[in-house]
């Protein structure tokens, strides 16, 4: 598969990452099918894209009429229908290896012969995901960052059997949607960015759990003194506290109590209205 052969893209998942990736690809001119397991999830994702496109359009960041971009997006619940004519599938399902393998097994059965099968996993092994298929050379990591419409970087990750042809077409696809790809040439846990971001979040979590500083103090320090766009807790609320939690669990790491408490309470960040900060009443971050 060459990048010029890619015209139909299917994104599996309509959550934060799935709908964001769908939007980015549609803005770039691709026809995209966004699929999730329930109509309600698909509808929520679709509405989030409408909201986002409106915002981008008001700021002059998207030239085309938002309706014209939306016209390139189809939604679907049935997996086979969603992928049966896809040139590229980007899976953005929850971070559970067994689930990903089940999906890739189905993709092996339902997608056209030459299709590229990409996973947006944050940290799971591409090599292991690919074992669910008979075509591991066509399986690749394509890791976007949250929020995809704003974040420039995309990691293109080689599994042990990913072919150069697949990785190169994926890299060029990323360029074609206006993003900046980097190759991650070894399927290491966390790839490049999460390997570095993990200890950042971990240190912050342990520090607060041990009472050395408050959530607000850590976030303020990193934003005001270090110049980061967001502190580690604010970032956790944006990406979803459960995402970092599962990454830690998969890596066999201990979870700081402050993180465990939020996961146990179901307070997972902006998407649930509450995380380290409270978004339900519109207050949001409280550090200054």
- Active-site residue list: 122, 143, 155, 194
Site for ligand 3HC in 142-201 (CB under 6 A): 145-147, 149-151, 194, 197
Phi-psi region of 269 (alpha: psi -120 to 50; beta: other; left: phi over 0): left
Gap between the Cα atoms of 187 and 113, Å rounded: 24
What's the closest the beta carbon of residue 26 comes to ligand 3HC, in angstroms?
13
DSSP string covering 228-244:
-SS-HHHHHHHH-HHHH
Gap between the Cα atoms of 278 and 269, Å rounded: 8
What's the closest the beta carbon of residue 215 comes to ligand 3HC, in angstroms?
17
Angle formed at CA 255 by CA 212 and CA 102, multiple of 5 degrees: 155
Considering only 125, 166, 239, 285, the residue that binds ligand 3HC (CB under 6 A) is 239
Report which residue's Cβ sits closest to ligand 3HC: 122
Region near ligand 3HC per CB under 6 A, out of 51-59, 127-135, 217-225, 255-263? 51-59
153-158/139-143 β-pairing:
antiparallel
Q: With H, G, I as helix, E, B as strand and everything else as coil, classify residue 43.
A: helix
By the rule CB under 6 A, 224 interacts with ligand 3HC: no
Which backbone phi and psi does 29 adopt, to 5 degrees? 110, 0
What's the closest the beta carbon of residue 165 comes to ligand 3HC, in angstroms?
26
Site for ligand 3HC in 58-117 (CB under 6 A): none
Region near ligand 3HC per CB under 6 A, out of 7-15, 100-108, 227-235, 266-274? 227-235
**Contact positions vs ligand 3HC (CB under 6 A):** 52, 55-56, 122, 145-147, 149-151, 194, 197, 229-230, 235, 239, 243
């Amino acid at each position: 598969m060459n990048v010029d052969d890619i015209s139909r893209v299917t994104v599996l998942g309509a959550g934060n990452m799935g709908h964001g990736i769908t939007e980015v690809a549609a803005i770039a001119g691709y026809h995209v099918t966004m699929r999730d397991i329930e109509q309600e999830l698909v509808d929520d994702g679709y509405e989030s894209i409408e909201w986002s496109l409106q915002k981008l359009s008001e700021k002059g960041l998207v030239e085309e009429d938002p309706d014209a971009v939306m016209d390139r997006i189809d939604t679907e619940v049935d997996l086979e229908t969603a992928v049966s004519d896809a040139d590229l599938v980007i899976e953005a399902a929850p971070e559970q290896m067994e689930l990903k393998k089940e999906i890739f097994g189905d993709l092996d059965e339902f997608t056209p012969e030459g299709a590229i099968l990409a996973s947006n996993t944050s940290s799971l092994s591409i090599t292991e995901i690919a074992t669910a298929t008979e075509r591991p050379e066509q399986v690749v990591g394509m890791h976007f960052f949250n929020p995809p419409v704003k974040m420039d970087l995309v990691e293109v990750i080689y599994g042990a059997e990913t072919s150069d042809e697949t990785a190169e077409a994926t890299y060029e696809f990323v360029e074609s949607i206006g993003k900046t790809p980097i190759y991650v040439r070894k399927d290491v846990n966390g790839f490049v960015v999460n390997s570095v971001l993990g200890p950042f979040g971990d240190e912050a979590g342990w520090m607060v759990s041990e009472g050395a500083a408050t959530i607000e103090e850590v976030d303020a320090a990193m934003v005001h003194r270090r110049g980061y766009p967001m502190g580690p807790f604010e970032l956790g609320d944006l990406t979803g506290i459960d995402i970092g939690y599962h990454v830690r669990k998969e890596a066999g790491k201990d979870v700081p109590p402050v993180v465990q408490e939020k996961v146990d309470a179901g307070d997972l960040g902006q998407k649930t209205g509450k995380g380290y900060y409270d978004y339900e009443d519109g207050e949001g971050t409280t550090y200054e």
